[in-house]
Structure 1
């Protein structure tokens, strides 16, 4: 019996073309940081530090700590000054990236329906962004004020998707069992990797990211509107 539903955000509850979003994201950040690096250089360093987060498996290091550990030495500036630039961007121009998304009322309707049935909801977005950036995207999706059991951000997570340890950490934080959990996402590698722990998976195909990986098979597949019908058929969660 399912009790906990994990939701991806970008491309799932928040419809978006990820490529377009990332292009606009880096362009905006490059403007803020133009005095410290040329756009291609900044992009290269951010991608390298992000890759370091995704690779890292040290349980005592948060993703934020890993990012700073890799990113800061690339510039002749203290970490506090570098992070202040990012914070200024997230609290300012980042909001303009809503034009790269296509918010739908379905996201909120689905979550409210599941909450009414007693399900515990987790926003299991890949924790490579800080809390402020995730909160902004949640607002765009119309789900920021919902009682999430957990929202994964890089400040408090120690792993990233598709590492199965990310999912293990999420389950431990909310006290959920794999057999009673469903992961809903649009990425055939990052989201379907939850199956390695015995978590059921639902692949949302509206903004599908298909890696063509034969190691992962979704238990359920459909558009977000199909998931709404799927949610309606779920029985109330039991305690």
Structure 2
């Protein structure tokens, strides 16, 4: 089982995210304001898949904790953070949210495809288990990874999120394996570590920019043994 964001793929930097949304809406980029807007968006954690909020408005605390339960709550949580960061133009706010769901906004880690292909060669099934509020399958298709995934277990479709053991149990069932035989790979000690309660072994990777983690997944192949 693999987590998605920060494990197999990483979202683009906030600067690129904002620049793409400005271009999409035809909003002029004012250099004196651009850097400050990036700073505020980062402070409020408004980019899904990016850093967590350093400042979470009190009125969003409950919604933030449930953001991956449904598509509506996910959109509302991140829309609230974007607004708190000072984005008041509804067209730009919509473009920012829409942008993060596009394949162009996501980059696989350098060893993602080689690792998944080697697991497929060995006959080991793979599930992607993600706390997310939207369908990530098009991202995997666009990056040529979909054929290497046997099952997707997404929180917004299941109505529960990691670390709830139910999401990991569902993934094991879809793979047709006992939890003790399924390794969970993720970057979040709390969320992904929840698989241990079900009896799954767990392996953690660092949620780093793509160019700073060239081989975070490669050690898995040694841990899993050879075919």
Match for residue 129 of structure 1?
133
Match for residue 112 of structure 1?
117
Q: Secondary structure at the match of 1:189?
A: coil
Match for residue 166 of structure 1?
167
Please list, as runs of the form range in 1=range in 2, the aligned pairs for 1:191-210 lying within 5 A after superposition.
Answer: 191-205=192-206, 207=208
Match for residue 218 of structure 2?
228
Q: Secondary structure at the match of 1:156?
A: helix
Tell me the TM-score normalised to structure 2 length.
Answer: 0.59
Match for residue 73 of structure 2?
67
Name which of 8, 11, 32 aligns with 2:6. Answer: 11
Q: Secondary structure at the match of 1:146?
A: helix
- 1:95 deviates by 4.6
Contact 1:205 1:224 in 2 (8 A): no
Contact 1:53 1:67 in 2 (8 A): yes
Match for residue 52 of structure 2?
none
- 1:112 deviates by 0.5
- 1:15 deviates by 3.7
Tell me the TM-score normalised to structure 1 length.
Answer: 0.56
- Note closer, same or farther for the CA distance 1:143–1:190 as it changes in structure 2 (3 Å cut): farther
Match for residue 191 of structure 2?
190
Contact 2:17 2:100 in 1 (8 A): no
Q: Distance in 2 between matches of 1:65 and 1:112?
A: 31
Q: Secondary structure at the match of 1:7?
A: coil
Contact 1:52 1:66 in 2 (8 A): no
- Gaps of at least 5 residues in structure 2 are 26-39, 47-56, 81-92
- 1:159 deviates by 1.2
State the Cα deviation string for residues 150-174 of structure 1 (Å, max 9, x = none): 1123453121112222212222333
- Gaps of at least 5 residues in structure 1 are 1-5, 33-38, 55-62, 75-84, 209-222
Q: Distance in 2 between matches of 1:186 and 1:92?
A: 19
Contact 2:163 2:192 in 1 (8 A): yes
Aligned pair count reads 181
- 1:203 deviates by 0.9
Q: Distance in 2 between matches of 1:228 and 1:166?
A: 25
Contact 1:14 1:137 in 2 (8 A): no
